Structure 1
Amino acid sequence: MHVIYGGTFDPIHHGHLRLALEISDRLSVNQVSLVPCHIPPHRGDTGATSEQRWKLLELAVADEPQLRVDDRELRRAGASYTADTLRQLRHELGPDAPLAMVVGTDAFAGFDRWQEWQQIPDLAHIIVVRRPGPGLDPDGEPSRMLAKRAVRDVRLLHNQPGGLMLELDPPLLDISATGIRERIGDGRSPRYLVPDSVWREIRRLGLYGACPGGNF
């Protein structure tokens, strides 16, 4: 099964990486693809450019064979819509290959506002990762979709190309990219929140208000 985990990764941090490894283990797949978006359709500008975020991701996963970076959205002009990415992957993988995408409950709560949201389950399985917060509106479209398509047996996802949904509640590291950007902007170190290689590159490029050459 091919599994993608998309996001802005602005910047990539240990919370992202730990979750990706949990997904790999829980779904019994050899590798998870991290897909950085080019232009996020549901938020403002990113703190780092697409190329800079891609570089940080490459540094973060360099020594982890279970994770890889897929830059297809960075190579595509315009806003990064999940449906377009899944359609492209489906074309590459063929109609019968199992394909799954990962989304947190916070983002999935607004799933019915995504571009072509009704077509997405026809293209791939959806892995919904429970995150802290109010959860899903029980009367909303995302909840109804989840109730209709939910399974508990991971093996079922491996036996068909898409259409199923699986909820996971893995242990999560309470780290946010927003908090990291604020910490760096305030002149405080984010060490142990991000990989050392990522922090070195952030300082080298002066991203998020970091002072190049400052104390590590």
Structure 2
Amino acid sequence: MNTYPQFKRLNYFINKEFQGRYIFNYFLLAIIGSIVFIAVFSFFSSNTLSIVYDNYHLQIGLTPGLLFKKILSTQWLFVVFGGGIVAIVTLILTHRVAGPFYRFEKTLDEMLKGDISKKIILRKKDEGKELALKINTFNYMLQDKLSTMENFNAQIAVSSLHLKKALSDSELGVERFGPLLNEILDSQKNIQAMINSYTFTREKF
């Protein structure tokens, strides 16, 4: 059973709320990291002097004051470009989670409607392959049991009809056992109706 065929999922932004939240959190983490870096650098260099040669001017002063603008401009470049890279990487990584979640949700919705014939198919690098395999295995087992129940139920119906015909032909208690046979046939029809409420593949696995 090949559960993970090779195919490409064209829509990378599957769950906008889920993926957007993670992208925002990682981007926010990058900003906080930059602020913390500036704060730590300023704290440890607050009592040091630096000499800066900038635009043909030589400047001497406290390190945080002289280098603050340079550090800030560098950090903003890091936040903008690094944040963009983080957003792209996060989108790709969350896509491997959001895609399977989407498939799980759709398959479970179909199962709640009685359709257990659907199979969860994930990509090779998707997360949740073990869960998908267990759900697929459960559906296969349930389909097999329903198919077996349907066969047994059909045999009960055939046997009941044969017995009813035999009693009718021999006139040996057809009036006595007829109602009981009718109850059996009614129960058989109810069982078949319950089985028919499910959509499944009627084949042996």
Band the TM-score falls in, shorter-chain normalisation: under 0.3
Return the TM-score normalized by structure 1. 0.20
Q: Which structure: greater helix fraction?
A: 2
Structure (1 or 2) with the larger CA radius of gyration: 2
**Normalised TM-score (structure 2):** 0.21
**Higher strand residue share:** 1
